[in-house]
């Protein structure tokens, strides 16, 4: 099997400075994505093993859980945050995060996309609700909840 040479001669992810690559990894909220990305190159492997990255991931997913509220306050340097993440994952559900969310308006009985980018710039939530307080009528719908709507 022959792999053709890359035709594009522009910059790649690996050409970015390490601090930028690290910032991008810190934006990922899925541990599997971080681990898979870490398998791509030796440099990404080192970045994917960063303790601060795993500590932030623990704080993002588990800081609101009763046992974990003080995770951010831990100053001990001997915590294996990657191990902590996978241990906590066994006991607590993951926090779901999506770029755009589906919402249900209880007042109008309408499903619609609430695009946060549109909401920031246009002051519109994707649905012109006639209720006095439209925000109180909105209920976010997770992908699983949306699929469950179609079960008989």
| pLDDT at residue 50 in the model | 93
| pLDDT at residue 68 in the model | 63
| pLDDT at residue 59 in the model | 84
- Take residue 92 and report the two structure tokens written for it: 């607590």
Q: How many residues does the chain have?
A: 152
Going from the C-alpha of 19 to that of each of 16, 71, 96, 112, 127, the distances in angstroms are 8, 24, 26, 38, 40
| pLDDT at residue 98 in the model | 65
| pLDDT at residue 151 in the model | 80
| pLDDT at residue 115 in the model | 59
Q: Which residues of the chain have pLDDT under 50?
A: 117-124
């Amino acid at each position: 099997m022959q792999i053709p040479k890359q035709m594009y001669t522009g910059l790649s992810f690996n050409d970015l400075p390490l601090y930028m690559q690290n910032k991008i990894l810190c934006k990922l909220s899925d541990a599997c994505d971080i681990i898979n990305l870490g398998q791509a190159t030796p440099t990404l492997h080192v970045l994917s093993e960063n303790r601060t990255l795993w500590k932030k991931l623990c704080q993002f997913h588990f800081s609101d859980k009763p046992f974990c509220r003080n995770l951010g306050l831990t100053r001990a340097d001997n915590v294996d945050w990657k191990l902590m993440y996978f241990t906590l994952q066994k006991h607590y559900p993951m926090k779901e995060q999506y770029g755009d969310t589906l919402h249900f308006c209880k007042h109008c009985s309408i499903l619609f996309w609430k695009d946060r980018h549109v909401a920031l710039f246009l002051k519109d939530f994707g649905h012109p609700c006639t209720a006095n307080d439209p925000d109180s009528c909105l209920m976010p719908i997770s992908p699983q909840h949306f699929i469950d709507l179609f079960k008989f």
